[in-house]
Structure 1
Amino acid sequence: MEESQATESRNGGGDSNGHSLVGNCREWLWSALERLRCTGVGFTGELAKIARDDPRRVVYSLKVGLALTVVSVFYYITALFDGWGSSTIWAVITVVFVMEFTVGATLCKGLHRVLATLVAGFLAVGAHLAAQLCGEKGEPILLGAFVFLVGIHGHTYAIQRLDSATSAATFSRFIPEVKATYDYGVLIFILTFTMVAVSSYRVEDLIEFAHQRFTTIAVGVAISLITTICVFPIWAGDDLHKLAAGNLDKLAEFLEGMEYECFRENSTCGNLEGKAFLQVYKSVLNSKVREDSLCPFAKWEPIHGQFRFRYPWSQYQELGTLSRKCASSMEALAFCVMTLQTSQYPEASLDLCLKIRATCKAMSLHSAKALRELSLAIPTMTMPYPTNNDMSMATKAASDLRTELSKDVTLMQVSHVAVVASLLSDILIQIERITESTSNLARLARFKNSERARSAVVINIED
């Protein structure tokens, strides 16, 4: 009987362990499914946010899908496939690598790919013909030497000459100017030369092989360009144009916020934490990377809209540099203002503080008006209204401030306020340079005098 009870006890324990194991597995499975669901929801939310931030990204994705669908037809049509053979897949691969967000970027990469393939194909065929002169045993050795020469680090001067391109292709990618503009072309050159040169040892008709590769790549580039330009084109020039105007708007917004929150008679420079106007300059400081990427691609784009041939795109980079310098001074000013609001000053300095505040108010107000006028001139592509009145009033206020500070013996007691005024004076100098740069852009780009266009933009902004 004791043995029977022991047996039942062991069986019961086994059942308990089994139920526990099943429960643990079920719990782990539900936990894994919940994590998978959360990941899916988070990923979907991220995609939705990206689409809301810039709906053109959705359009770009659809355009890539359309281009791939069109180029895949060439692979499915028997007549075309028989003519190109397995090289047809290079048309599909080309679309994947060449299709970019903007027209300029697609055109740049497409032409680089075509030219690099053409030059590398000619050189590879020449290398094959030269290697054949060495006989059956010497041919692979010489071909290997040619391939090695393409990949080695050559002299920097050699890559500047087309006839010496095969001696330093890889090394050229380390040169900043080449990497910034021609890196993709150099990479395709290395790839094409190596493939054609190596394949020449086994391929009977090398000319046909090189021709198939070039024509399929040209077809892929053509489909990419047609899709990019004809289906809801996204122009790098438009983005660069809007970026410049937006940066000036943000600089003006900062100065308007300073005038309203810090320099008015009833303002106390109270709690400024979290104020939006103290943060807008940061996006201007971070605009260099986007600006430098858009400008080269804008130069590749054909005539479109109001952007004519040989449009002065480089002037936007100069204007962007000046805007970032001004934003840098604003960053220092924001820090001083945040420090100033916690400082206390003796009564003897109260009059001087009020005078400095009034002067800073005038400088901020008139400088902001000048920037608003310049930011309105760029999107309307009209000559900016003369800002001499606002700038002269701001300059006069700065001059009066320097005179007041130079003769007041209590300057050391209000050093923080004096620093704020000094930084505003520096910002004023930067705005004068921005004004000159914008005027140069308007002159070089031949902006028009159009009251109607400016009025329409003002109405849109108010709406």
Structure 2
Amino acid sequence: MSSTVITIPDEGEVPIKKKKFQVSLPLISIFKEKKNNQEVKKLIHSIKVGIALVLVSLLYLLNPLYKQVGDNAMWAIMTVVVIFEFYAGATLRKGFNRGIGTVLGGGLGCLAAAFAQQVGGIGNAIVVGFSVFIFGAAATYSRLVPRIKRSYDYAAMIFILTFNLVVVSGLRAENVLALARERLSTIVMGFAVCIFISLLVFPTWASDELHDSIASRIEDLARSIEGCSAEYFNSVGEKRNCSSANSNSYKSLLHSKAKDESLVNFAKWEPWHRKFGFSYPWEKYLKIGDVLRDLAATILSLQGCLQSPIMSSETLLQSIKEPYTVIGSSLAWTLRELGESIKKMKKCQSENLMVQKLKSMTLELSQVKTLSTIGQMENADGLAIASSIFLLMKMIDKVEDLAKEIEELGELAGFHTK
């Protein structure tokens, strides 16, 4: 009987690597990690807000400016605080809503206050109270309408606030129109500072975020399909399970609808910049996101089917291993091509070939196990095989739908062919 001897080097023979002295600073590590990561964008946004607040505070700090605006300078500071958002489109959208609410509320408030002063006496308070009730109730009801709430909820809230401030202050102030004009001018100053800094100083575009996130999700799905196939079928005799990273990527994709809708709403407000022109088909990204979520749900269902105790038999696994690995690699390749098409904004030269290949995979998969072959198995085994084949066919259909949606996006957005 032979034995194998493993020599372990002495302690003195083990090479000792000298560690270099490094100083780790949080900000330096953030910038070194990735050029355009989210942490850097958050840091830049914070600096931009600080700069905007300093600029509008000059209305208080500099005597010549303070003599012109007086205590109304506080409205410019409030405007910066409430409308400066992370994305440039969100800032524009909120600023536009604030402008509508301020102009309408201030204008109607001035008219109501002037009418109340003309009435005079006890009628003054009656007119003010009645107008506050009518316009406040009407604006509040409008905020409950889904279409108005989705686009103009902030404008309605600012309208209520501005109208009440103007019409109630008219009871004590002699020149309501001059007061409203001064406050409006300071609000415009704050809005101008926000727009200037948000659009011209390292802008963060919601359109870029949406475009890149959709492309990265497609790549993540392709990588997860390949990785899960390798982890599951190559672990013979072991507990088969896909990595938690793949499951987390699927689950995060399933909960991405609200974020996509917000980014689309912000992107519609952004001006022309770089690769995105006016009237860009942002709604198509929502449809692509819906297809990706359906695909992720189907993949999760297939994983649950493969990981069930019924599929623990090696014979049963071998019967589905070949079609799953072949189709998985084909789907991953197709998804990568579609992701590159969106990322580089170019038409995929092999889109027709992709659709034909997906249809041929569906035909081949339907012939993998005929009904007679499945019927010869035990009831549980036959049901497991049929379920897994059905889910594979559903995955192919979803990828085919994704290819069609991306092709339509390329036509509407004018993707280049090179």
Whether contact under 8 Å (2:170, 2:176) holds in the other structure is yes
- The correspondence of residues 102-113 of structure 1 with structure 2, limited to 5 A, is 102-113=87-98
Deviation at 1:312, TM superposition (A): 0.7
- Deviations 1:320-364 (CA, angstroms, capped at 9, x unpaired): 11111111111211211221586237xxxx3x7544322222221
Alignment of 1:220-239 (within 5 A): 220-239=190-209
In structure 1, the residue matched to 2:53 is 68
Post-superposition, which runs of at least 4 consecutive aligned residues in structure 1 deviate over 6 A?
Answer: 48-52
Q: What is the 5 A alignment of 1:257-406?
A: 257-262=227-232, 270-272=239-241, 274-339=243-308, 343-344=312-313, 350=315, 354-403=318-367, 404-406=369-371
8 Å contact kept, 2:311–2:384: no
**Residues in 2 aligned to 1:61 and 1:341: alpha-carbon distance in whole angstroms:** 54
Cα shift at 1:398: 2.7
Match of 1:174 among 132, 135, 144: 144
Gaps of 5+ in 1: 1-43, 153-167, 451-463
User: How far is the alpha carbon of 1:135 from its aligned partner?
Assistant: 2.4
Counterpart amino acid of residue 398 in structure 1: T
**Shift of residue 148 of structure 1?**
1.3
Aligned partners of 1:368, 1:273: CA distance in 2, in Å?
A: 16
Q: What does residue range 414-425 of structure 1 map to in structure 2 within 5 Å?
A: 414-425=382-393
Name stretches of at least 5 consecutive residues in structure 2 with no aligned partner.
1-25
1:433 counterpart letter in structure 2: D
Larger Rg, first or second structure (1 or 2): 1
Aligned residue number for residue 407 of structure 1: 372
Checking the alignment, whether the CA contact within 8 Å between 1:249 and 1:372 is kept in structure 2 is: yes
Q: 1:309 to 1:227 in 2, by over 3 A?
A: same
**1:432 paired residue number:** 400
CA deviation profile, 1:256-296 (whole Å, cap 9, x unmatched): 124323457x8667432535334321221121121111100
Aligned 8 A contact 1:256 1:368 in 2: yes
CA contact (8 A) 1:99 1:106 kept: yes
Q: Give the TM-score of the pair, scaled to structure 1.
A: 0.78
C-alpha contact 2:58 2:65 (8 A) present in aligned 1: no
* 1:151 equivalenced with 2:119 (yes/no): no
Equivalent AA in structure 2 for residue 291 of structure 1: D
- Between 317-326 and 72-81, report the one with greater CA deviation: 72-81
Aligned length in residues? 385
After superposing the two structures, state which structure 1 stretch, 220-229 or 122-131, moved more.
Answer: 122-131
Structure 2 contact 105–160 (Cα < 8 Å) conserved: yes
Name which of structure 1's ranges 222-231 and 243-252 shifts more when overlaid on structure 2.
243-252
Partner of 1:250: 220
Q: Which residue of 2 aligns with 1:80?
A: 65
CA contact (8 A) 1:278 1:334 kept: no
Query: How far apart in 2 are the matches of 1:394 and 1:406?
Result: 22
Letter in 2 for 1:405: T
Q: Aligned letter for 1:320?
A: G
Contact 2:365 2:393 in 1 (8 A): no
**TM-score, structure 2 normalization:** 0.86
Determine whether 1:189 maps to 2:155: no
Give the secondary structure class of the aligned counterpart of 1:279: helix
Tell me the SS of whatever aligns to 2:166. helix
Q: What amino acid is aligned across from residue 320 of structure 2 in structure 1?
A: I
Which has the larger share of helix? 1
CA contact (8 A) 1:263 1:360 kept: no
Measured on the aligned residues, the alpha-carbon RMSD in Å equals 2.5
